[in-house]
Amino acid sequence: SQTIHQWPATLVQPVGSPLSLECTVEGTSNPNLYWYRQAAGRGLQLLFYSVGIGQISSEVPQNLSASRPQDRQFILSSKKLLLSDSGFYLCAYLPDRAYEQYFGPGTRLTVT
């Protein structure tokens, strides 16, 4: 069966510190991968998506970057966090030749 993992589950970081959030998918090959962010009390906004290893597309100019070093691994990074980076970050995958996206449990990031 397919599963998606994210870690850490929660993170509190000071302004200016680096960030690395990880997402891994099991049970499927060559998925599309996505990073979304949810601000408090709002809907989700797509940040990045990837259709293959090393292929990253950005939807929103920002302080963040993404990388896909392996087929089922997606990483969200920042060199220097801003207060506005606080939020709930969700990773999602689309199985190969499918149409329905599935979401991970999310990482709640608080920048202080």
Partner 1 sequence: GIQVEQSPPDLILQEGANSTLRCNFSDSVNNLQWFHQNPWGQLINLFYIPSGTKQNGRLSATTVATERYSLLYISSSQTTDSGVYFCAVTPGLFSGGYNKLIFGAGTRLAVHP
In the complex, the residues that contact partner 1 under the rule CB under 8 A are 32, 34, 36, 38, 42-46, 49, 51, 57, 59, 88, 90, 92, 94, 99-103, 105-106, 108
Contact assessment for residue 28 and residue 86, using Cβ atoms and an 8 Å cutoff: no
Q: How far is the CB of 103 from partner 1 (least distance, A)?
A: 4
Give the residue with the Cβ less far from partner 1, 14 or 100.
Answer: 100
Q: What is the greatest pairwise CA distance in the chain?
A: 41
41: Cβ contacts below 8 Å, ≥ 6 apart: none
Give the residue with the Cβ less far from partner 1, 18 or 105.
Answer: 105
Q: How far is the CB of 75 from partner 1 (least distance, A)?
A: 19
Find the angle CA(91)-CA(65)-CA(36) to the nearest 5 degrees: 25
